[in-house]
Structure 1
Amino acid sequence: MAKHRAIPPGFMTVGEVAKKIGVTVRTLQYYDKEGLLSPSAESEGGRRLYTDKDLVTLHQITSLKSLGFSLDDIKQRLISLETPTDVANALTEQADSIREKIEQLTASLAAIEQLKEEVLQMQTVNFKKYADIIVNLQMKNDSYYLIKRFDDDTLDHIRNRFDKESGLNFVDRFNRLSDEIVQFQKENVPPESEKCQQVVKEYWGLIMEFTNGDMSMLPKLMEIGNIDTATNAWEERQKIVNEYLEPALQVYFSKLGVNPFEEVQG
């Protein structure tokens, strides 16, 4: 570090740098201590001096910090500023980080707006249910709004039965089978056909997996799944699935020689 008797042109004190960038002197001292940004020079009186290049580096640090990066991450991301290409690369990396942050914030904003709509539709204060909806929004589970149709017992069952990974896996399989059933309906595949009955068998297997074999849950699931008027794309699809599945399940149960729904209702 060069030493100067006075403050020469092109150099700034720590106070001047702090004021220009909008940080505290203590922050600059901390960055120096952590090896993020050391002053380029020092006066003979012990005043720490910075250059315009240091200002650009400090801008890198504060920008990355505002995006949520830790100081250790920032150390790895700081780019040398020796050439115009170096500066361009630093700005490119900052721009990429900002775009990524914008995408995250946009997704968060959409989730909040969706949750707000759900809260208004539910008409009751239920923070446990709000928390479940938030988790599902973060998982990008398009069926998240079904949660508001579940009662507390069913929600407790889901929490105990599935974690994030197994829950997503279950939803993926459920959606895949539902899409197949919708396609069968479009193609007028007979409910009694072999390929339809194979899908029905898988679908019923999912129901048993969800309930863990607890037949007492079936009436509740029937009530939850009953959709008179579809209000969104998922409900529209499920309405088609339900209408196609009803006769297909009757065929499936007749081959088994038992109808679990009738037994539970009886």
Structure 2
Amino acid sequence: MEKQKVISKGQKAIPEGYMTVGEVAKKMDVTVRTLQHYDREGLLSPSAVSEGGRRLYTDRDIVKLHQILSLKHLGFSLDDIKNRLIPLDTPSEVAGVLSEQAAALRRKIDSLSDSLKDLELLREEVLNMQTVDFKKYADIIVNLQMDNEFYWLIKHFDDEMLDHIRTRFDKDSGQAFMDTFLNLQEEALRLKKANVPADSSEGQQFAKAYWEMITEFTGGDMSMLPRLMELGQFDGADSDWKNKQADAGAYVGQVLEVYFSRLGINPFQEDAK
């Protein structure tokens, strides 16, 4: 980078071929503060400084500024431009850095697309809820980030249920529980369709797995049990979801009845006490 030159004393007018910082800012549609920042960062220093301390630029500076602004438009940071791009000597090196930047921008585009989709879905849920509840909004956003297609169930849970879920599960364990629940629901539908008897070995193995899943959810708090058993039967719930839950629930009820009978317990009755 060229050293700054001082215009000779007594020369008040701007010499031919030089421009003030204000003129450059106007010409290139940037702010004076931006140019001052580039100077401080050592990215674009003026070619000269007048006796009065005014920064003076040349056409060569304009060309360099154009390059900086163009690279910034591609998403490069000032540090990237100064320390990674400008020192490069070969086209292949420049092409490599450009490829890295392209990949970073693709990741950013994907992330922004996901955020836009989540915003639109959250907006629908907010309107459906007809109330302001930022705790539920946060839970919905977390489930959207997890790609949980049943994020809409959140709005039907009361505060006690949501507080219980927040206490019992983090993001990873919550996703694992939801996967288990959905897999068991599908298994219930399969067994029902295959007419597998509730008191058969296969039916009771399923009942044991289902009850273990419920016990994991409740953590021993049986007051949560009725809410969990009603999952999906909310007013306004998707009809396909409700139908699947009803079919699965019918089989689950049968196998659990046999399961509890053989164990000699009635968890619903215990909860009522």
- Aligned-partner SS, 1:217: helix
Match runs of 1:162-177 below 5 Å: 162-177=169-184
Counterpart for residue 251 of structure 1 = 258
Compare CA radii of gyration and give the structure with the larger one: 2
- Counterpart amino acid of residue 48 in structure 2: S
Counterpart for residue 43 of structure 1 = 48
What are the superposed Cα offsets for residues 43-102 of structure 1, whole Å, 9 maximum, x if unpaired?
36463552535523333235427xxx7x66x46994356555555555544443333333
Counterpart for residue 60 of structure 1 = 71
Q: Distance in 2 between matches of 1:202 and 1:61?
A: 57
Aligned-pair distance for 1:13? 6.9
- Counterpart amino acid of residue 56 in structure 2: R
What are the superposed Cα offsets for residues 184-215 of structure 1, whole Å, 9 maximum, x if unpaired?
34444443343443233222112112111111
Match runs of 1:1-266 below 5 Å: 1-2=1-2, 18-19=25-26, 22-34=29-41, 37-39=43-45, 42-43=47-48, 45=50, 47-48=56-57, 50=61, 52-64=63-75, 74=80, 78-80=84-86, 82=89, 85=92, 88-89=95-96, 91-226=98-233, 231=238, 234-265=241-272
Unaligned runs of 5+ in 1: none
TM-score (ref. length: structure 1): 0.75
1:215–1:260 CA contact under 8 A, matched in 2 = yes
Aligned-pair distance for 1:110? 1.6
1:197–1:248 CA contact under 8 A, matched in 2 = yes
- Counterpart amino acid of residue 148 in structure 1: K
- Aligned-partner SS, 2:75: helix
Corresponding residue pairs, total:
257
Aligned-pair distance for 1:167? 1.9
Q: Distance in 1 between matches of 2:100 and 2:26?
A: 25
- Counterpart amino acid of residue 55 in structure 1: H
Aligned-pair distance for 1:221? 2.5
Task: Note closer, same or farther for the CA distance 1:218–1:33 as it changes in structure 2 (3 Å cut).
Answer: same
Task: Note closer, same or farther for the CA distance 1:209–1:231 as it changes in structure 2 (3 Å cut).
Answer: same
Percentage of pairs with the same residue: 51
Task: Note closer, same or farther for the CA distance 1:258–1:15 as it changes in structure 2 (3 Å cut).
Answer: same
Q: Distance in 2 between matches of 1:239 and 1:165?
A: 28
Q: Which piece of structure 1 moves more, 199-208 or 89-98?
A: 89-98
TM-score (ref. length: structure 2): 0.74
